[in-house]
Amino acid sequence: MNFKATLIFAGILILLAGAVVYFHLTQPRPKQESPPEIWSVDEAKIHHITIQLPHQKKRIDFFQDQDERWRFDDATRQAVDLKRWGGIVILVSGPKSKRLIAEQVGDLAEFGLTDPPMVVVLGVKGQKDPLEILFGGQTPGEDHYYVKLKHSTPVYLVHSTYVQVLKRLVLEPPRPAVREVK
């Protein structure tokens, strides 16, 4: 091949590559659906959190004092251990769901939601009624839990680690470590 033909061939390849890149970049991308939102509350408006484990007859309450510190809502009124508490309010303000199971289900007992093993109640500034979230049974693969709002019909899935973190707050409360005086 001569030099002139090589230059023409290289020019055609460069134009072809440019066209492919241009058309690839200008193609509309399909929208990726974001995970369904079960609930969403501005974390700054949450002033009270109750987590109940009715089957274990356990419950814990937290409140935010006037200095915006989170405390146990019990006789001690003790401040929470910030190392364990960090991120909890953001966590309860509204998780993303793995997926929506159904807009309405016939038998909530199939999902463990008629007698839920965990209930979370959020007191929200500016709302008369608290937000109640029911956590039902685990999925067959045990990697998700069924969840729904008390006064709403859709049933969703939430990852099991989310539920485990909330349960741990009840079973191992985030109380500050007691320091020994020597």
* CA 19 – CA 156 distance, rounded (Å): 45
H or E segment and range at residue 84: helix 82-85
pLDDT of amino acid 96: 80
Exposed, middle or buried, 169 (CB in 10 Å: 0-12/13-18/19+)? buried
Domain spans in the chain, listed from the N-terminal domain onward: 43-171
By mean pLDDT, which of 84-88, 127-131, 178-182 is the weakest? Answer: 178-182
What's the whole-number mean pLDDT along residues 63-89? Answer: 94
* Contact criterion met (CB below 8 Å) for 46 and 124: yes
Residue 90 Cα to chain centre, angstroms: 9
What's the whole-number mean pLDDT along residues 27-46? Answer: 81
pLDDT of amino acid 22: 74
**Is it the case that residue 182 has pLDDT exceeding 70?**
no
pLDDT of amino acid 12: 81
pLDDT digits (tens, 9 = 90+) for 103-157: 888 899 999 999 999 999 999 999 999 999 999 999 999 999 999 999 999 999 9
* CA 173 – CA 157 distance, rounded (Å): 25
**Is it the case that residue 56 has pLDDT exceeding 90?**
yes
**Is it the case that residue 31 has pLDDT exceeding 70?**
no
pLDDT of amino acid 83: 92
Q: Which of 38, 35, 59 is nearest to 120 (CA)?
A: 59
Provide the strand spans (E) within the chain: 46-53, 58-64, 70-72, 99-102, 118-124, 131-138, 144-149, 155-159
- Where is pLDDT greater, at 69 or 29? 69
pLDDT of amino acid 60: 97
Q: What is the mean pLDDT of the chain?
A: 89
Residue 1 Cα to chain centre, angstroms: 65
pLDDT of amino acid 80: 95
By mean pLDDT, which of 50-59, 77-86, 115-124 is the weakest? Answer: 77-86
